[in-house]
Structure 1
Amino acid sequence: MQSGSHHEGSAYCQGRNLAHPEMGRNRKGDVEEMMNGRQVTDILIRKGKADRMGLFDSPWGQTVEKWRNEGHLWAVDPSTGEKKPVDPATFFGFDMAGVGWFNTIPDRTFHEVLEESEEWTVTRDGAGAVFKRWKKRPGTPEHIAFEMSSREIWETKYKPHLLALDPGRFNAEQVRQAVAARREQGRWAFSGNLFVWEILRKSLGDLCMFENLAADPEWIHDFNQTYTNFFKIHFKAIFDQCGKPDGIWLYDDLGYRNGLFCSPQMLDDLFTPYYTEIVDFFHENGLPVVLHTCGGIEAALPLIAQWGFDGLNPMEVKAGCDVVRFARTWKDHFLFIGGMDARIFESGDKPLIRREVERITREMKGMGARYVFGSDHSISTNVSFDDFQYAIEVYRENMHYHE
C-alpha cells in the first residue's frame, strides 16, 4: 500500500483553507463541538443520521500539480518557515481519505520496458499485459497485447503466483502510518483496490475477456474465485499486522457510456458469488464497503444492493446516471458519494455551479438520503482551483441536514 498524507493544522495552510472547523454554533449561538469527518462518514455509511452531509473528491495528480504550479496547495511550517505541499484532503477538508492498496499482479517482481521515448513508455507487466502510457499527460493506458489468452496459460503461468500469502505485496509500516495519520486528522481512512472485473480486464484485455464471458464461463469462475481467495488472504494479513482501516473501497467499472458491459444476467451468473463473498468477508470484519463503478450502471443497481455494498460512487451523469433519481429508489441501501456532473465543475460558470450544488444537496436532504458531496468521477485539469473551491464553499453553506 502507498500513502501520501500531510498532517492538518490551520497554521500550516495559506489562502482559503476549506478544512471544516470542529467547533460551530447552534441556533442559539452557543459554541458546540461538531462531528469530525471520520464520525460523519461512519455514521452515514452505517445507515445512521449525521448532522451534515459528507465531502470527498478525487483531483487528478496532474490537476494537483497544475494547481501547485499556480501557487495553491502550499503551506508554511511555522516552526521552520519551510514551504511544504498540502494534500487536497487536508486543504479542502475531505471527510475521507485513501490509505493505499496492495499489489495484485500475479508475478509482482516482473516489469519489462519494451519501448520508451520522451513522451511515453511501453511496458509488459507480471500478468503478461503490454500497455502504452504517456509520461507527461493524463489518459487511460493504451492496451497493446495480452499473453493471458487461454485458460491453460492462466493455470500454468499466472495462477500459481496467487495461491499463497505474499507479504511483499504490501508495506505494513506504511499502512500503519497512513491510517494513523488520517485518523489523527479526523478523516475516515479507507483501503482500496481493484476487484475481479477490472483485474480480469487488465489481465486478459477487452476482447479475450468479453469473448470468454460467453465461451468459457468456467475459466471466469476460476479466475474470480482465485482472486477472491487472494484478496481475503492478503486483507486478513493486513488487518492482523496493521489493524483495520475504517472501511474499504473496491473499484470495478461495470459500465460504459451507454450501459453495462454485459447483461445483468451474465453479471449475476459470473460475478455475484464473488462480490457477495468479498463483501461478506469485510462485513464480518466490521468494515463497510463502497463500490466505485463508472459508466451506465443503473441496470446493475439491484445486483449491487444484493451483493451488500454500503456505498456507491461516482454515478456518472454523462452515462445516464442521476444521483437524485437513484436515491429515490435506493436511499435505504446506499450512502451515495459523488454524482455532480464534472462538466459543470469544468464550465467556469459559478452561477451554474451554485445552482447544481444547491439542487443536489436540497433534493438529497429533502428525501433524507445519506450523501457525500463530490463529482461524478474526478477533478480534471480543466477545473480551476477557484471554481473547485467555490463549489465546496457552496456545499458548506448547504451541508447540514437540519438548518
Structure 2
Amino acid sequence: MMTERERFLACLRGDSVDRPPYWLFWGPWPTTRSRWEREGMPADCNLRAHLGSDRPPATVQVNYGPCPRIERQVLREDDDFILFTDSWGILRRDYKHGESMSEFIEFPVKNRDDWERFRAERLDPDHPDRFLGNWRQQAEASAREGVALQLGNYPDVGVFGGLRWLLGDEECLLAFYTDPQLVHDIMDHLTTVYLAVFARVVEVLRIDVIHIWEDMCGRQGPLISPRHWDEFMAPNYQRIRDFARSHDIPIISVDTDGDPRLILPNMTAAGVNYLWPFEVAAGCDVAQIRRRWPSLGMMGGIDKRALAIGPKAIDAEMERVAPVIETGRYIAALDHLVPDDVSWSNYCYYAEALRRRIGVD
C-alpha cells in the first residue's frame, strides 16, 4: 500500500496509484461545526481522523510573511463586532455571530513611503525570527509518517495575494495602471522573501510542494488580465519554477477561488501544475477543464451546495466527477468550506459516498 505522500505525488503526476487520495480537505465554518455538535458530532472532533481520510501535505511551519510577526491587536469589541489589526497590519472588523467576510477598513501600504517602511521593518528575507521553534522536527515527524511536505501557506505566500494584503483590493487593482513600478517592486520583493525562506528549508528537508495562495479570481473571472499576469506575475512564477526544478520539487500549487480559466494558460506556462479549488458556483467544471488541460493537477470541484440539498444531490455530484477521477491527476474534494446549511448527517453521507467512489477499503 502506498504512503499518503506517494499516493498524492503519483496521482498528480498521472502515474498509477493503489487508489486516488481520499481527502476531506475543506472543513466546516465555525457555525457549521456548532450545528454539527448539536446534531451528534463528537465535541472537538478531528474530522479527518474521525472519518478516516488521508492527510494532505504538511506545511513547514516557518514564517513566510511579515517578520517580526505583527501581533493581533483588538482595538474595540462589543456584543456584535470586533475591530482589530491582523498579522499583516490590516485593520478589519468581524461580525461575531455568523459567517461573513471581514470588513477591511485600512491597509498598511498607501504609497511608496509606506511600502519602503514596511519592507524595511517586516520583509527582511534573512530575519532570524523566520525560523523560530521546532519547525524542522515537526516536518521530519510528518515525513516519517509518510505525509508530503509543503512550502508556502495562506495567508503569507502569494504574489498577487501579498500585494492585495498590503494595498487592499481596490488600490491594488488601480496600481497596475497608476503605479505599475510599485506593483513590480512589491511582487518582486515578496518573491525574493519567499525564495530566501524556501532555500533555508530545502537545505535540511525534502520538499514535495510549493504552495502559492492568490485568491485572484471571482465569478466573472480573474481580477487582472492575462496581459497583466504575464507582465507582473509570470517573471516571479518563473523564478519559483526555476527554484523548484533546481531542488527536485515536483509540484507548484496555486489556490485561487472563482473562475481562473482565462489565465490558466498563462499560469501553466509559468510552471503551475496543480490548481484548486474550482468553485462550481463560479462556473468551474472539472470535466471541462480536464478536457482542455489534460495534464493539470486538480483538487476540488465538487459543489458544496449539494450537501445542503441531500443524498440525491450528493450522488449526482459523485457521478459528475467520476470520469475525472478515472483520468487521474485529480483529487476529488469539495470546492470550499462547508456552510452552516449542511447537516452533520448529510456531511457524513458525502464522506462515505466519496469513500466508496474512490474505492477506499
**Could you say whether these structures have the same fold, taking a TM-score greater than 0.5 normalized by the shorter chain as the test?**
yes
Amino acid at match of 2:159: V
Give the equivalent residue in structure 2 for 1:290.
253
Cα distance in 2 between the residues matched to 1:238 and 1:295: 31
Cα distance in 2 between the residues matched to 1:197 and 1:180: 32
Structure 2 residue ranges without an equivalent (≥5) = none
The secondary structure found in structure 2 opposite 1:337 is: strand
Cα distance in 2 between the residues matched to 1:355 and 1:64: 25
Which stretch has the larger CA shift, 371-380 or 86-95? 86-95
Contact 1:73 1:88 in 2 (8 A): no
The secondary structure found in structure 2 opposite 1:398 is: helix
The secondary structure found in structure 1 opposite 2:316 is: helix
Cα distance in 2 between the residues matched to 1:103 and 1:123: 22
**Deviation sequence 1:136-190 (CA, Å, 0-9, x none):** 5333221101241112221134345313312323544145325524752x44343
The secondary structure found in structure 2 opposite 1:373 is: strand
**Deviation sequence 1:168-223 (CA, Å, 0-9, x none):** 23544145325524752x44343432312111111111121111111111111110
Instruction: Identify the structure with bigger relative contact order (alpha carbons < 8 Å, sequence gap 6+).
Output: 2
Give the equivalent residue in structure 2 for 1:81.
none
Cα distance in 2 between the residues matched to 1:67 and 1:111: 29
**Aligned residues, how many?**
352
Match of 1:54 among 17, 21, 25: 21
**Deviation sequence 1:355-382 (CA, Å, 0-9, x none):** 21122113441xx242111011222233
The secondary structure found in structure 1 opposite 2:92 is: strand
Give the equivalent residue in structure 2 for 1:321.
284
Match of 2:7 among 40, 65, 68: 40
**Offset, 1:267:** 1.5
Cα distance in 2 between the residues matched to 1:72 and 1:170: 37
**Offset, 1:44:** 1.5
Give the equivalent residue in structure 1 for 2:357.
398
Mapping of residues 93-172 of structure 1, within 5 Å: 93-99=53-59, 101=61, 102-105=63-66, 108-109=69-70, 111-125=72-86, 127-172=88-133
Contact 2:21 2:331 in 1 (8 A): yes
Bigger radius of gyration among the two: 1
Alignment TM-score, normalising by the size of structure 1: 0.79
The secondary structure found in structure 1 opposite 2:338 is: coil
Alignment TM-score, normalising by the size of structure 2: 0.88
Cα distance in 2 between the residues matched to 1:183 and 1:250: 25
Cα distance in 1 between the residues matched to 2:300 and 2:70: 36
Cα distance in 2 between the residues matched to 1:126 and 1:352: 39
Give the equivalent residue in structure 2 for 1:337.
299
**Offset, 1:248:** 3.0
CA RMSD of aligned residues (A): 2.6
The secondary structure found in structure 1 opposite 2:93 is: strand
**Offset, 1:121:** 2.0
Mapping of residues 99-248 of structure 1, within 5 Å: 99=59, 101=61, 102-105=63-66, 108-109=69-70, 111-125=72-86, 127-177=88-138, 180-181=141-142, 183-184=144-145, 186-193=146-153, 194-240=157-203, 243-248=205-210
